[in-house]
């Protein structure tokens, strides 16, 4: 299914949200949290998928927040029916931090959900629950839209700032180009993007592949297991201390930065819970910077769909040493934040639709 472009809202226009959850308490909490944002308007609520589907023509929402477990028509069934007829409405799933919840969330993303938020099983007070919702849900909704500037804050005419790449560590030199690793950084829309591209890597691929997908603990393991069934390559959640092997895919575990350390002939994977970078752990920047330290420029770094600009600093560091940088184009991205930051900084060697990413990698790495 093709991705939707980020929509631009006109002055005074709000993001219309339909809240779907079988819990009265959760519906009220979500509505209260969203209504505090001046750019968002809650246009309706529904207690299950059947009611929600009937209310869509009446409320004309831009976004649906959708619980998975509901009576009569649950979230997954509603999503299937919705996507048969409507690709325009953005869908943000609510997921529990359980194996069952994570599995259902990955299924929802495969069915066409755009993103998800996790809800704690014991969130504590209502104030804590509201704060969690504001912190998680509002940015996930706003990421799909370009909001018109308010009259109080006229748009700046200055060009966007371009980050300077971090200084290289002593002793690290620009490397003659020969790919020794492929690295992929991805966030919003990532599970669907990875599901689309991983089957196209051939058996016997010549170098290891490292992936950072912004996801919490448990979700990354289940994502690795799902991808492992789709590609001839072996996909696994990375383990500290293991030595990367050609033709294997290593996914950063949730809540851990994944780095590649050591000399090129003795590289190992290191995991740590150091400070979040770009509000993320795992962070793409952490992986990319470590690859610059170990492989120099002998890397193909790919930045796919995602919110924010995680990966930009790492890309600049790799680019300074001669790495080849790929960025997904806006038309095929769910959110063009991360790849857009790379492109706008002038750091991308190629800007490609998702379907052309693996052929571009194979043209530089070669076949088995």
Q: Which residues belong to the active site? A: 187, 214, 310
Contacts 24+ apart (CB under 8 A), 171-174: 172/292, 172/293, 172/296, 172/321, 173/296, 173/321, 174/296, 174/297, 174/320, 174/321, 174/322
* Residue 336 structure tokens: 């063009």
The DSSP bridge pattern shows strands 257-261 and 268-272 to be antiparallel
- Say if residues 5 and 330 touch (Cβ distance below 8 Å): yes
Count Cβ atoms below 10 Å from residue 148 Cβ, excluding itself. 14
- Say if residues 89 and 20 touch (Cβ distance below 8 Å): no
- Say if residues 254 and 218 touch (Cβ distance below 8 Å): yes
* Residue 286 structure tokens: 């952490």
The sheet that has 90-96: what strands, in order across it? 40-46, 15-20, 63-67, 90-96, 115-119
Considering only CA atoms, which of 191, 228, 175, 235 is closest in space to residue 209? 235
Residue 173 has φ and ψ, to the nearest 5°, of: -115, 160
Which residues does 256 contact at the CB level (< 8 Å), separation at least 6?
271, 272, 273, 281, 282
Count Cβ atoms below 10 Å from residue 251 Cβ, excluding itself. 26
How distant is the alpha carbon of residue 288 from its chain centre? Answer: 16
How distant is the alpha carbon of residue 63 from its chain centre? Answer: 18
């Amino acid at each position: 299914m093709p991705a939707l472009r980020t929509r631009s809202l006109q002055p005074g226009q709000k993001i219309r949200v339909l809240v779907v959850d079988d819990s009265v308490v959760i519906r009220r909490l979500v509505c209260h949290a969203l209504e505090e944002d001046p750019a968002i308007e809650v246009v309706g609520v529904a207690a299950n998928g059947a009611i929600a589907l009937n209310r869509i023509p009446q409320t004309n929402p831009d976004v649906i927040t959708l619980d998975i477990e509901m009576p009569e028509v649950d979230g997954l069934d509603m999503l299937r029916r919705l996507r048969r007829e409507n690709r325009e409405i953005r869908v943000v799933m609510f997921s529990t931090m359980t194996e069952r919840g994570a599995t259902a969330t990955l299924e929802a993303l495969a069915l066409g959900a755009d993103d998800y938020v996790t809800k704690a099983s014991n969130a504590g007070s209502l104030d804590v629950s509201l704060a969690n919702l504001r912190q998680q849900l509002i940015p996930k909704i706003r990421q799909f839209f370009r909001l018109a500037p308010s009259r109080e804050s006229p748009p700046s005419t200055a060009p966007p700032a371009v980050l300077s790449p971090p200084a290289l560590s002593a002793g690290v030199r620009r490397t003659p180009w020969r790919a020794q690793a492929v690295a992929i950084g991805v966030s919003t829309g990532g599970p669907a993007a990875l599901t689309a591209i991983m089957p196209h890597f051939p058996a016997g691929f010549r170098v290891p592949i490292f992936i950072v997908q912004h996801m919490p603990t448990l979700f990354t393991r289940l994502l690795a297991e799902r991808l492992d069934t789709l590609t001839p390559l072996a996909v696994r959640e990375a383990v500290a201390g293991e030595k990367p092997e050609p033709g294997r895919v290593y996914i950063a575990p949730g809540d851990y930065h994944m780095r590649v350390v050591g000399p090129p002939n003795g590289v190992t994977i290191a995991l740590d819970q150091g400070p979040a970078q770009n509000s993320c752990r795992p962070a793409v920047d952490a992986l990319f910077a470590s690859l610059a330290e170990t492989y120099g420029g002998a890397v193909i770094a790919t930045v796919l769909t995602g919110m924010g600009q995680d990966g930009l600093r790492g890309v600049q560091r790799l680019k300074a040493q001669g790495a080849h940088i790929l960025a997904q184009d806006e038309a095929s991205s769910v959110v063009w934040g991360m790849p857009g930051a790379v492109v706008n900084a002038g750091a991308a060697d190629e800007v490609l639709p998702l379907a052309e990413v693996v052929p571009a990698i194979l043209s530089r790495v070669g076949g088995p």
